Amino acid sequence: MAVERVVIGVDSSTQATKAVAVGLESGEVLGEGRAAHAVSTGGGKESDPRRWWRALGEAVAATGHADRAEAVSVAGQQHGLVALDADGAPVRPALLWNDIRSAPQAAALVEWLGAGEWARRTGSVPTAAFTAAKWCWLREREPEAAARVAAIRLPHDYLTERLTGAAATDRGDASGTGWWTPQGYDSEILRHVQLDPAWLPRVVEPGTAAGTVRGHGPLREGIPVAAGTGDNMAAALGLGLARGVPVLSLGTSGTVYTVARSRPQDPSGTVAGFADALGGWLPLACTLNCTVAVDRIASTLGRDREAVEAGGSAVVLPYLDGERTPNLPCASGLMHGLRHDTTAGHLLQAAYDGAAYSLLVALDDVLTAGGESADADTPLVLIGGGARGAAWQRTVRRLSGRPVRVPAAGELVALGAAAQAAGLVTGERADEVARRWGTARGPLLEALPKDSEALERIADALERAGGLLRTAPGLPGRD
């Protein structure tokens, strides 16, 4: 019997690198590997890119199929600032997407150009997450490090370059920097932030290779390396996502997005007008606090994460890392509406509700920003680490009023990267590969009646607490 051909997809996320070896024809996951990262604690979220590189080698080797792979692709966490010197070495640890210290720089960028013009040019209004704001923070706060910079990369760019020697990125991940437009890098924005365009990678066309593997590590020399992309774009590929189907991802952060027909331009900043990895668009709303924040509250309450109780009057806004949607980078967590009969289970359920609220409220904005229908009968695709949790599933169904589909496939970001790699071998579009593999199949959970009372309670608490959430003390880097 013939041995099936293999491709490898890599997901370099905030907490770990995960790799999957996938059968080119069947889509069967033949082997998996994982290696942890180290992330600093506190408001400043940093990680050593050299550890990502070691983790990539460890995770790929652990799949057991590295020597058979015919192509590889790397997807990675969006927005992170990897600043390199002339020798290609990091001048400091990478600033990650959830590092909120660049909030003042993001506000200054918006003031300079105006929210409407940012949305028109780049599709998005910068927040602390965006690479442009992080570069401005580095120039202002660590000028000696900034003076040594000779190249700027995103996390997936850095790893692709280590594999191939080529400075390359893709349109999807580049669209989260704050300086990319559909026409290319914006020269006026680059001048304003004092960034030399020669420091940036070329943007590779969808479906083409960034280069080939150089002779080191567990992969065979000379196999093609796809352009890669950002994690949300890769998950969309991994699902073979059709236009207008909404996705809710429950991970360290929460995201809601869809593949859209038209380019989003939301001057409110709620919807980021990202490009996808194929030539289309991926309107997206993102929160900083999702599964990790809820798990932290469960731990503080001394309860298992599934030990929720229905009812109660409490509202919990679990903004433990500041927040991006709504744009409250200075915020901290808040509990409101406690009574004598409030239980720990009520508080934990309220934390789930508070984490899901902003994403579900933004769902219609995401769909309409991309020119798609907000049909409430369309199932919401639930993915990410929280998607299989019963409390998360019930919370999303209760607050959205939608049916929910939970794909059986795991590691969708890595699968999306594997589909990119497969496309290099077969000539197919990556989403077509994923649909052929059947990655989106999974149980459909029926809709629950929409809990409008809970939604109104959270909205009221947000409005009343606005001053507190905008000025919470202890934000690092504001001295």
Q: With the CA atoms of 455, 458, 460 and 464 taken in that order, what torsion angle do they form, in degrees rounded to the nearest 10?
A: -170
Nearest to 154 by CA among 78, 206, 252, 44: 78
Name the band, by pLDDT with cuts 50, 70 and 90, for residue 237.
very high
Q: Please classify residue 125 by burial: count the beta carbons closer than 10 Å to its beta carbon, then call 0-12 exposed, 13-18 middle and 19+ buried.
A: buried
Average pLDDT over all residues of the chain: 94
- Residue 170: pLDDT over 90: yes
pLDDT tens, position by position, 417-442: 999 999 999 999 999 999 999 999 99
CA–CA distance, 401 with 399 (Å, rounded to integer): 6
Please say whether the beta carbons of 350 and 307 come within 8 A: no
pLDDT tens, position by position, 179-225: 999 999 999 999 999 999 999 999 999 999 999 999 878 999 999 99
Distances (CA, A) of 399 to 55, 201, 323, 349, 361: 38, 42, 20, 12, 9
Please say whether the beta carbons of 175 and 275 come within 8 A: yes
Nearest to 152 by CA among 119, 130, 172: 130
Window from 49-53, 67-71, 98-102, 135-139 with minimum mean pLDDT: 98-102
Could you tell me the two tokens for 72? 């590889």
Catalytic residues: 231
CA–CA distance, 112 with 367 (Å, rounded to integer): 29
| Residue whose token pair is 């219609």 | 364
SS3 call for 350: helix
pLDDT at 468: 85
Q: Is the pTM of this model over 0.85?
A: yes
CB atoms closer than 10 angstroms to residue 76:
31
The percentage of residues in the chain with a pLDDT greater than 70, rounded to a whole number, is 98
For residues 477 and 161, the model is more confident at: 161
- Residue 473: pLDDT over 60: no
pLDDT at 374: 67
Could you tell me the two tokens for 450? 């929409």
pLDDT tens, position by position, 301-337: 999 999 999 999 999 999 998 898 898 888 999 999 9
The percentage of residues in the chain with a pLDDT greater than 90, rounded to a whole number, is 87
pLDDT tens, position by position, 59-99: 999 999 999 999 999 999 999 999 999 999 999 999 999 99
- Residue 392: pLDDT over 60: yes
Crossing angle, helix 231-239 and helix 412-426, to 10 degrees?
A: 70
Name the band, by pLDDT with cuts 50, 70 and 90, for residue 479.
very low
pLDDT at 183: 94
